[in-house]
A = this chain, B = another copy of it.
Amino acid sequence: KGKQCGGAVVFASGYGETGVEGKKREQALVEVCRDLDIAMLGPNCAGFANYIDDVFSFAFLTDERNRKGNIGMISQSGQLCLSALDSPGMGFSYLISSGNGACLRVEEYLKFLVDDPDTKVVCAYIEGVQRVEVFVDALKRAAEKKKPVVILKTGRSKKAVSLAASHTGSLAGSDASVDAIIHKFGAIRVDDIQELLATANMFSILKDYPRVPAFASLNVSGGEAGVTADLAYLDGIDLPDLSDNAMRALKRMLPSYATPNNPLDMTATLAYDPDKFAAAMEIIMAEEKVGAVIVGYTIPYTITDTTPVRMADGIEKVISLPWVKPIIWIPFVEHTKNPEQHKRLLDMGVPVLPPGRYGYKILHNLCRFITYCSEDKTLEFSAPDANIGYSAKSLSEYDSAEVLKQFGVPICPQKVAASCNDLVAGCEEIGYPVALKISSPDILHKSDVGGVKLNIRDEQEAVSAYNEIMKNVRTHAPNARRDGILIKPMLKRGVEMIVGVNNDEQYGPMVMVGLGGVYVEVFKDVQLYPAPLSRIEALDMLKKLKGYRLLNGYRGGLVYDTEACAEFIVKISQYAYENKNKLKELDINPLIVYPQGEGVAMADALVVLRD
């Protein structure tokens, strides 16, 4: 039964995206497919177009059907597939609208496209994934084979999360976690549809990618060269100064009133003469520090002034030569690009990006792709089990530290004294001065109940502190369990950092690092990254903090032990990864970082387990 039908497309809506009744209908549909062994696309989808085997089952009208190319597109929105098909100059291997993904999910199509040899670039619109392991495995394979994956994932705003739920019934997960995962595995996350399609098409059209993330910009006017300088600056795109040799050679080609520069105002002299334009490109492409050339010019629909045609003529003269480097065209204004000239550039392997800031954002995406190095990263991933308990059980400070110690995390000496006699012996063992704190799994904010006494210098102070803490706790937290008094050494001052873990329900443990207090709370200077981390990844997290300068000789001051801090973060990430089915969250506040060579000290830790 069903053997004659290997697959089906269900375009209709009214299933999982509509609520309880719809979910039942969807479940029934899935069961029919399972019984009949049918791979189903949808429901609530726009179908697919397979340009490799010439199979079309797409629901919407499009202007042009001949779109064969090398972009594999998977989308949880049918409308976005239509946008892609209507975008001039894009060519596809497969174009798939996965809808609710009742049988085959967006992440499974993603993985297919990553593995597919006919697909050079993967382009994905995602509202939420269900099988996180499949999703991350796809990203990992892409990272290893250096295939670009460009992802538009909604869910940055709460509104988008609730819209996704009602649109395709998607679980959106924590946006910060998804973002960190995409970043770690070297995929490119974009902000909107325009950036998605144009970034994918840039990778599709370019025959080679630049070797270095730096560009030379060629423009037809001084005004546009100035605007380009600012655009590059705003998006952090490097336009390196040219060598003296190149400057001299360009100066000879330009009219007397012009000054060579990068960005260059070519003036009409170079722009109108294909041979001179080609010669200028040869000079510029010979520069080692230039990875690619950006040509800045707006292409109108009707070519009245033939400048862009002559520039394309110039490009034609160089594009097959051995010394050629990638060329990328960025207009200044959105425009009805002349279709013939546009096609001619694409055929030569010259992508035409959207104008201005879009173009430079997309160059930024290109730079991230070419500088991503999967070898520096731990590409391990396994998601936490679903459906385990989410109620929380906090460990005491003592137990939290002991648990971490078992996983090789360096902790400070600590003792819990159950009696006043114990305390005196314990303080001797730890060594004065000490800090005393109430030890109780029920008291998270120990200071608030008068449960902390610092800088205790001798036995007499210790005894009186003991009595005072016990009295305070009996008064302010009469029902709390009391394990005794925790004794720890007083720590030297250093730079206070926060290291935390939030165990995302879908994506597993995310390590959070920041400088303590105000820096995290007011300036939001925090980095988030999926566990486990390599040493290089941990150092990168630190370096990306705005406050990193405070660790690194700020105002001629001390250089702090960022290596020890990174090692500590690695250990914490390993603990969190191995305990992803038990851990709910972890908060080390503060971790004190000492000057170079003197290490770090964990002043306080709170482990919260799932119950």
Q: How far is the CA of A336 from the CA of B89 in the complex (A)?
A: 12
Interface check A152, CB cutoff 8 A:
yes
Instruction: Report the stretch among A180-188, A227-235, A477-485 that lies at the interface.
Output: A227-235
Q: When each residue 65-106 of chain A gets 1 if its CB lies under 8 Å from chain B and 0 otherwise, what string results? A: 000000000011111101100111000000000000000000
Contact B261 A163 (CB under 8 A): yes
Q: Assess the A336–B333 pair: CB atoms within 8 A.
A: no
CB-nearest residue of chain B to A197:
B333
- A389 at the binding interface (Cβ < 8 Å): no
Which residues on A are within 8 Å of B, measured CB to CB?
13-14, 17-18, 22, 60-63, 75-80, 82-83, 86-88, 125, 127, 152, 154-157, 159-160, 162-164, 166-168, 191-195, 197-198, 220-227, 229-234, 239, 256-259, 261-263, 265, 298, 300-302, 304-305, 332-337, 339, 354-358, 518, 521-523, 525, 546-547, 549-550, 554-555
Q: Separation in Å of the A176 CB from the closest CB of chain B?
A: 14
Return chain B residues, CB-CB under 8 Å to A259. Answer: 166
On whether A225 and B163 interact (CB within 8 A), knowing A191-B357, A356-B191, the answer reads: yes
Question: Cβ of A159 and Cβ of B261 under 8 Å apart?
Answer: yes
With A163-B261, A222-B163, A358-B357 already in contact, the answer to whether A192 and B156 are too (CB < 8 A) is no
Question: Are the C-beta atoms of B523 and A333 separated by less than 8 Å?
Answer: no
- Which residues of the other chain, B, contact A549 by a CB distance below 8 angstroms? 522
Interchain CB contact under 8 A, A61 and B305: yes
A256 to chain B, nearest CB (A): 7
Q: Are A226 and B334 in contact (CB-based, < 8 A)?
A: no
A190: shortest Cβ distance to chain B, in Å? 10
Distance in angstroms between the alpha carbons of A564 and B32 in the assembled complex:
74
**New A-B pairs, 13, CB < 8 Å, besides A63-B300, A160-B226:** A18-B257, A63-B301, A76-B223, A77-B222, A79-B220, A156-B233, A157-B233, A159-B232, A159-B262, A162-B261, A167-B222, A192-B231, A523-B523
Inter-chain CA distance A112–B333, complex, in Å, is: 27
| Contact call B300/A86, Cβ cutoff below 8 A | yes
Q: Is the CB of A304 within 8 A of B61?
A: yes
Out of B198, B265, B358, name the residue touching A167 (CB < 8 Å): B265
Query: What residues of B have a CB within 8 angstroms of the CB of A300 in the complex?
Result: 63, 86
Say yes or no: A194 contacts B357, CB within 8 Å.
yes
Query: Among the listed B162, B336, B521, which residue makes an inter-chain contact with A337, where contact means beta carbons less than 8 Å apart?
Result: B336
A333 touches B154 (CB 8 A): no
Which residue of B191, B258, B525 contacts A230 across the interface (Cβ within 8 Å)?
A: B191
Instruction: List 8 A–B pairs whose Cβ atoms lie within 8 Å, in order of A's numbering.
Output: A63-B304, A77-B221, A79-B221, A88-B335, A163-B229, A167-B226, A356-B358, A518-B547
In the complex, what residues of B have CB within 8 A of residue A197's CB? 333
> A79-B220, A127-B223 given as contacts; is B14 within 8 A of A257 (CB)?
yes
- Beta-carbon contact of A522 and B356 below 8 Å: no
With A and B bound together, what is the CA distance between A305 and B63 in angstroms? 8
Q: Which of B61, B192, B265, B522 contacts A227 (CB 8 A)?
A: B192
Q: Report the bound CA distance from A88 to B333 in whole Å.
A: 11
Q: How far is the CA of A22 from the CA of B302 in the complex (A)?
A: 37
Q: With A223-B76, A522-B549, A522-B554 given, is the CB distance from A191 to B86 under 8 Å?
A: no
Q: How far apart are A196's CB and chain B's nearest CB, in angstroms?
A: 9
**CA–CA, A518 to B515, complex, Å?**
12
Closest residue of chain B to A303 (Cβ to Cβ) is B63
Q: CA of A301 to CA of B159 in the docked complex: distance in angstroms?
A: 32
B13 pairs with A335, CB closer than 8 A: no
Contact B156 A332 (CB under 8 A): no
Give chain B residues whose Cβ lies under 8 Å from the Cβ of A302: 63
Contacts of A233 in B (CB 8 A): 156-157, 159-160
- The answer to whether B305 and A229 touch across the interface, beta carbons within 8 angstroms, is no
Query: Within the assembled complex, what's the spacing in Å between the Cα atoms of A62 and B302?
Result: 10
Question: Shortest CB–CB separation between residue A303 and chain B, in angstroms?
Answer: 9
Shortest beta-carbon distance from A418 to chain B in Å = 34
Q: Of B77, B157, B355, which contacts A232 at CB under 8 A?
A: B157
Residue of B nearest to A175 (CB): B230
In Å, the complex CA distance between A320 and B519 comes to: 53
Nearest-CB distance from A347 to chain B (Å)?
18
Q: How far is the CA of A159 from the CA of B163 in the complex (A)?
A: 44
CA distance A370 to B304 in the complex (A): 39
Kindly state the separation between the CA atoms of A225 and B223 in the bound complex, as whole angstroms.
Answer: 37
A86-B229 in contact given A304-B62, A358-B357, A525-B523 (Cβ < 8 Å) = no
Q: Flag if B195 contacts A87 (CB, 8 Å).
A: no
Contacts of A80 in B (CB 8 A): 221, 223-224
The answer to whether A256 and B357 have CB atoms under 8 Å apart is no
Please state if A193 and B239 are interface contacts (CB–CB under 8 Å).
no
Residues in chain B near residue A192, CB distance under 8 A: 227, 230-231, 332, 355-357
Identify the closest chain B residue to A219 (Cβ): B79
Q: A167-B265, A223-B80, A522-B546 are in contact. Are A193 and B229 (CB under 8 A)?
A: no
Interface centre among A14, A192, A258, A339 (most CB of B within 10 A): A192
Given contacts A194-B333, A222-B166, contact A60 B305 (CB under 8 A): yes
Determine the distance from Cα of A250 to Cα of B79 in the docked complex, in whole angstroms.
22
Contacts of A167 in B (CB 8 A): 222-223, 225-226, 265
Q: How far is the CA of A555 from the CA of B517 in the complex (A)?
A: 10
